[in-house]
Structure formats: structure tokens, C-alpha cells
Chains A and B, each alone.
Chain A
Amino acid sequence: MKWSEVVGLVTRHRFLFAIGGVVGIAIIMTAVSLSLYVTSGTSRLDLSRPGYESVRKDVQDRPEETFNSDGPINKAALDEFDRLLQKRRANLNGLGDFEDTSLDDASLRLTP
């Protein structure tokens, strides 16, 4: 098939080729997005996945007080900083630390 014939074919079926091209581009973009979603590790943190409905409510999503990066360094400023840091550390202490026995043989009932 000559180049002029290819051009003629495309020109005759412009609409069909346009739809095919759009679908092809959409498939490529989706494949790239999905591969980025998986390789970047976002998929592991995505709690909107099926099966995670019951735990979604446990995600902490409240606005927190911030510390101004501009201003003097004095007792009041350091007290304010300490207060904010202590609050965040107290929150951290309440979170799981991957040290419990959930994966032990006894917990999984794999002990003879």
C-alpha cells in the first residue's frame, strides 16, 4: 500500500480514525497512570481501595496548629514550639508501632 493510499484511506474514514486514536491515547495514558500508581507506592497507602471501608474512619485528618517560621526566638516562642511538638508526639505515641504480636505463630494459631 502506497503512502498516498494510506492518506486517502485515513481521509475517507476520518471520524473512525479519530475515535480510534483517542481511545488509543486514553489506553496509553491510563496504563502510564496505573504503573505510576503502583510503582510509586501510592497504591499501598490508598485507603479508598475495596476492603478498606471499615478502617477509613480511623485516618486522622484534622487541621493542626502551625509554628510561624518568622519571629523572635525567646522563651514564649520556645514554649509555644514545645507545646506543639508535645501535642504531636502524644498523638504519635497513640499509634501502632509494628511491634505487637499480631504476626506471631501463636496469634495466627500456627503452633502445633
Chain B
Amino acid sequence: MLRQVFLRRHNSSPMLRKVYSAAGLVLVFGAGLAAQSTPLIYNRSITNAGSYMPAGLPNGAVAQGSIFTVFGNRLGPSTGVSANAFPLGTTLGGTSINVVQGNTTVAAIPVYVANGQINAIMPSNAPLGNASLQVVTASGKGNLSPVRIVSSAFGIFSALGSGQGPGILQNFISQTNQPINSPTIVAQPGQTITLWGTGLGPVSFPDNMAPQAGNLPVKTEVFVGGISASVLYSGRTPCCSGTDQIVFNVPQNAPQGCWVPVYVRTGGTTISNFVTMAIGPNANSCSTDVLPQFTSGYINGKRIGKALAVRTTTREDVGMIAPVDVTSEYHVSFAFEPNPGPFPFNAAISFPPQGTCTAYTLNGDLLNETGATLLPDVAPTTIPLDWGGPLQLTGPSGSKTLTITFNLARVGFLDGMISNGILAGTLFLNSGSYTMQGFGGMDIGPFTTNFSIPQPVVWTQQDTTDVVTRAQPLTLSWTGGDSGQVIAIVFFAIDLPTNSSEVSVCLAPAGASSITIPADLLSNMPATRNNPLQSKDVIYLIAMSGGSIQPINATGLDVGITEFDSIIGKTVVLQ
């Protein structure tokens, strides 16, 4: 598994396969435009092989001695070649890689080369700072592409090969039995875990030889659900050059759930990507504290569905002449039969436990308005189930047919308004009792479900949350809502010029009225640009109403629920 993970990222991610397929189509379309035959490293495509952390983020550098990934074209043979014996060479399959900084050039050590992708080891003696990478093949030298080299920047390998979701973490049961943790292979508090990744830092022995075991000098910390774990070992694994193991014990007080966030901090400041692990009392199954029936259905491949109503109100006051409040109301319905596989994960379903935080990063603009930019593994690979025609929503303001206003998508706009007299409107999703009605389709039968929308949650410091200092934790508080509600903070930080995004997601403890976002999550967000219009930094407080979560009892649906979400947003400046 591990070998597959770090050698072939794309094959394990349907989302990324789509990207590759799309690129293939474009290649045909645009053939003849670029006539060069030398290797081409794609822009912004050099990353840690475990995290794929975008280079535009503070921790998006490549560590000395780590395995990094390069995407491009004409980088190697059409059929991939892997290095399989020590000593590793500086040429593999006719491909070599130069790391250039001024008059200094060192050779990286390829471990996998193919036409579109290279995985290689950044030499432990590579120059620190800004450098360039160049691929050389029989057809010549390719372009020089920027790379930032640091002493330590750790990336955790993930089971889905996307740098997020279930990590490659082995539950230690015995020397001969160490299965990879998953929602069906669950760790218990106190259990010893072996975490796999790359980027702890340089070594004193040759990078191209079988590594020597031993702790590396960099300070290494592991956090499980935000709780510091005791680290037993942090260094190279003897099997594989450039590959690190961190052995730790699951804290006794670690949160439990199917997707408990795990990250590594090196040197006291640099955090890795966030992966997940399952923790609970039962070794064969896990449970979540948010929508447990729904997530259980997802994990077990049941037919699941949701009918949602959402109101979003965002205060926009960064880069504006005058602040405005923008309110919009939507409805969404979806149902599908997931094919979760051995490592089920979907960032939109696989919530961290309440009281914990996680983060996702992406080379892209997650708030892009003009095209779909999604986290990996969010778009299910299985087909949707048919609800039939539009649903009907009846409440205090009357009855509305939930018209689908996006072709091919069961999403619709209900109402909206903008303050300052810019856009007048009436809102529909006010507090009160509602009835959601479906009329049945090919897969899902008719249903009628009653639910309620409470008085709105109030974000108490919304007006004064203007500047966020990344080096300090950020505490947000609120009042109102209803019993059983789930509060989530979703904090987007997007740097447009480098096309880099981080989104931090924190779920408040049940019944809490405040939550603190740790500085570790904020530290990897890009600072707001001098021209604030080149950044998109916004905090959303999401209240999933407890009274709105009601079962949809319909034939053809194993688990169905209604849901109302109140979302309060605020633009901020990150310093």
C-alpha cells in the first residue's frame, strides 16, 4: 500500500484521474501549439510527495532528504519505472533531475519516473532557500522551475493518495500484525501507531543507500484530535530512502471517531498536512458524534440522502468602500449509494469529532466563482439516486416548490438580499415549523418530513473580528440556536496570485458557546496581500440546527435526513 501511495498518486484518486483525463483531451486539442520536445515541468507542480502542500502556503516547501513529486510532460518513459535496488542512482529510466541554485547544482535521486510524473529524493545536501528544478532526458534539458527548499517540512502519506483523509497509520497489534488504520480497523486509546511520511529532514548517511534507523534531530510532535501524543520514534524507515516513520501512542484522552484529525509539527512551527484516523473502543467499527446514522450509512455503502435548506449571511468589509451584508437562501437535495472502499472519506461528509479542528489545502481557489474547484474525493464516483421532481417546502412564509435552478444539479436559489439598499428581497427560511415533501422518483419514493428552524444563532464578535494574527489562537463565540445544534467554524484563506488555498474546519464541543482555532492551523494560512482583492479570507460560522435534523422515511433510501444550516460569514485580514 505504501509503495503505491507515494509512487502513483493519481491512480488512487478518481478525482485526479479526471484531471489527467481532461489533460489528455486538452493535449489533443492544443497539439501543435507547443512544439518543444524537451521535458516540461508544469507550473507550481513541485510538492512534498505525501502532503501535496501548495508551494504558495507557508509550509509548502520541500525538505532536504524528503521525497517530492513533480508533474509535467515528457518527464520520463511512457511506462513508469521504479527504482528497486540500492544504491539508488541519479538517473532512472533515462531521466535525471538537477537542483540548481546559482552556481550550485546537485542531483536529485529519482525513485519513480514516468511521462507525467516524477517522485524523487531531494538530497540532504541540497541548497536551502529558493532554487530551481530541471529535468533532463535524452531529448534534452527541460525548463527550470522554482522550488523552495527547507530543512524540514513533513508530509503524511494518505491512503487515498491525495494528502488528506485516512493517513497511512498502522495500528500496532504485534510485530507481525500491523494493519493500516481505517474506519473498520480502529485504534484504541493508548495503542501504538506507526505513521508514514516524508520530510523530517536531512540525514548524515547517503540518501541513496538503505537508511539507518535512529531518531532525527528535528523536534517532532504528533497531535491527535488536537491532543499531543507521546512520540517513541521519529526517523527514517530502514526500508526506504527518503521515507520517515513516526511511532507514537494514541493519547488516552484523544477524541474518538471515524475521522480524528492527525498532524505532525516539526521544529516547533511547521505543520504537516492533516490526515485522519479512526479511534474508538471497538476494533472493527467506529462511530461519529455528528449525524452518526448518516455517516454510518456512508461508511457502509448504504443509500443515503439529504434535503437541505441553507441561509448564508456574510458581512463584507475588506477591500470595500462600504461594508455590506449579503444574505442568500438555497435548497439542496442529493442522494447516492456510496462506494466507500476500505478508506471511506469525503471532506463534506467525514466530519472531525466535535471539539477538534482539521485543515485542507489545495492548489487552487476554493472559493472560485467561475468554475468548479473542489477538494479531492469530494465528488462521489457513484451515480446519484433519483428523487423525482422538485421537492416542496412549506413553512411560516408559505409554500415553495424547490425548483432546481442549476442544470444537472439539484440546487436552487430561494431568496436573497443585500444591505445598503443594493438588493431588496424577502427571506423565506425564517424560524418556525416546516414540512419537506417529496413526490417520488425512480429510486426514492415519496415522503413527508416535518422539521423546525430555530431563532438565528448570533456570532457575538462578528463586527469586531477584523484582523486575525496568525501566530495567535483565535476564539469565536456565539449565542442562540437550538438544542442539539452543531456549530462549525470554516475559515478560508486563499492567496490568488499563487493559486493556493487553506481551509480550516473546527467543530465546537456539544453545547459549547465558543471555540478556539489553534495557531497551528492559522500559521499555514497565507497573509492577506497589500491589495486585499488578491486575497480571499473569510470566516464562516455554521450552525446545523438540531431541530432540523429529521429522518426522511422513503422507500429506496436507507438513511435520509432533512437539515437546515445557518451560515454567518465575515471577511477578515490575515497578518
Please say whether chains A and B are actual partners in one complex.
no
